[in-house]
């Protein structure tokens, strides 16, 4: 009789789901657990490989208009730090845009002409 009572208690206890149906971007396992929050977004941790990931990633970037404005500021003589103070965009980001523009110009100028 004691075994039957224990079996009934097990059947009546609420089922706690410790694994979430999220897929790990590294190993594609669906065994993930909630792992805190970052900037109001739920974080997860894969139980197989240990990778931490978010449910969804929000791609963010600056518009082409902002990039062109920063490039024009630099061409007009503003330093990267001055551009950073005015636009609140980090100077290394602006430097990256300058290098991208330079490599594009180099590729165009080196392409064979018909």
pLDDT of residue 82: 97
Range of the domain at 102: 64-108
Co-location of 52 and 69 in the same domain:
no
CA of 55: how far to CAs of 14, 27, 36, 49, 59, in Å?
26, 15, 12, 17, 13
What pLDDT score was predicted for residue 109? 84
The count of structural domains within the chain is 2
Cα separation, 75 vs 97, in Å, equals 13
Asked whether the whole model's pTM tops 0.95, one would answer no
For the chain, list residues with pLDDT below 70: 1-20, 113-114
Q: Residue 12 domain-assigned?
A: no
Would you say residue 8 lies in a domain? no
Residue 68 lies in a domain: yes
Let me know whether 46 and 68 are in one domain.
Answer: no
């Amino acid at each position: 009789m004691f075994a039957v009572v224990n079996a009934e208690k097990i059947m009546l206890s609420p089922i706690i789901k410790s694994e979430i149906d999220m897929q790990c971007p590294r190993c594609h396992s669906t065994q993930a657990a909630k792992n805190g929050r970052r900037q109001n977004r739920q974080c997860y941790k894969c139980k197989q490989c240990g990778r931490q990931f978010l449910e969804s990633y929000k791609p963010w970037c600056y518009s082409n208009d902002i990039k062109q404005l920063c490039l024009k500021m630099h061409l007009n003589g503003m330093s990267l730090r001055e551009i950073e103070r005015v636009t609140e965009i980090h100077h290394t980001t602006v430097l990256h845009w300058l290098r991208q523009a330079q490599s594009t110009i180099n590729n165009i100028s080196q392409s064979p002409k018909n």
